[in-house]
Amino acid sequence: MSEEKHVIVKDVMGDSLDVPVKFTESMIQQMQDLYIRNLIRVCSVMKVDKITPNSIKVNDRWTHNPYIDYKDEEMFYKLGKSCIDNGMQWLLITKDGFIHEGVHRILALQELIKKGDYTEKDIELPVLNVTEDKFDKPVEIEFFKFRSNFKKVVRYGMDIRSLWYINFSGANANFMAQSAMLKYVYYEWEQKYKEGFPQPKLIMNYDLLMEKINENTKKKK
């Protein structure tokens, strides 16, 4: 039996880890599954909109992201192609009419349209609108005990705990913890295997996301 594929994470946000962390395929899938469970719960009690890349206001800003290399003139185009080919690690989030999370991915998708690879109507994306911060009802947010600290994976493994929240701003740190880490894991995977790790399709498909939200709502009735 062949060993499961894996990547080693050594550097995060410019810091070298004392203990490089190994993430196997199954561990990465667990991280994705946890994020999707949380996402469906949050989307069930908030507003989900459908947008196209140029239909939303964008303020560019610096970010901790291994994919972002401002010296590379083709950076946004490459990132856009990666989003289309491999998916995006978390759902786009809007607030007050602007992109709140996912700025560079929107700029990247705009670049694909600018270069004529796609039309505006070809890329219709779901976004979570957090302008109204309060949840309709308390929401359980799961997170791994290592939260956003890679070093603690060695101590806690993939153990999970959860807390309940009544608004998005309160839940945001734990809600985004795993997806924020996944971008580094995905990056290492792409560097090692020369292809992206398959990501959940519903993050880029409005109809599929709404279908999953409706399924979740029916189960609770």
Residues 189 and 7 sit within 8 Å (Cβ to Cβ): yes
Residue 25's pLDDT is what?
96
- Domain of 14, in residue numbers: 6-220
* Rounded (10°) angle between helices 168-193 and 75-86: 100
Confidence of residue 130 (pLDDT cuts 50, 70, 90): very high
Residue 221's pLDDT is what?
57
Q: Which residue has the higher pLDDT, 41 or 68?
A: 41
- Domain presence at residue 111: yes
CA distance 220 to 217: 5
Strands 6-12 and 98-101: unpaired
Copy the structure tokens of residue 95: 């607030």
- Domain presence at residue 190: yes
CA distance 88 to 104: 11
Residues 107 and 60 sit within 8 Å (Cβ to Cβ): yes
- Domain presence at residue 10: yes
CA distance 185 to 198: 12
Confidence of residue 2 (pLDDT cuts 50, 70, 90): low
CA dihedral of 158, 29, 11, 194, whole degrees rounded to 10: 160
pTM to 2 decimal places = 0.89
- Domain presence at residue 193: yes
Highest mean pLDDT among 24-38, 50-64, 70-84: 24-38
Helix, strand, coil share of the chain (percent; to 5): 45, 25, 30
Residue 196's pLDDT is what?
87
Residue 17's pLDDT is what?
79
Q: What is the CA radius of gyration of the chain?
A: 17
Residue 220's pLDDT is what?
64
pLDDT of 219 above 80: no
Residue 27's pLDDT is what?
95
- Domain presence at residue 1: no
Q: How many domains does the chain have?
A: 1
Residue 65's pLDDT is what?
67
Residue 71's pLDDT is what?
81
Reference 48, options 217, 220, 221, 218; nearest CA is 217
Residues 141 and 119 sit within 8 Å (Cβ to Cβ): no
Residue type, 157: G
Residue 61's pLDDT is what?
63
- Domain presence at residue 12: yes
pLDDT of 1 above 60: no
- Domain presence at residue 88: yes
H or E element in which residue 32 lies:
helix 25-44
**Chain segment 153-207, per-residue pLDDT in tens:** 989 999 999 999 999 999 999 999 888 888 889 989 999 999 889 889 999 999 9
Mean model confidence pLDDT for the chain: 90
- Domain presence at residue 110: yes
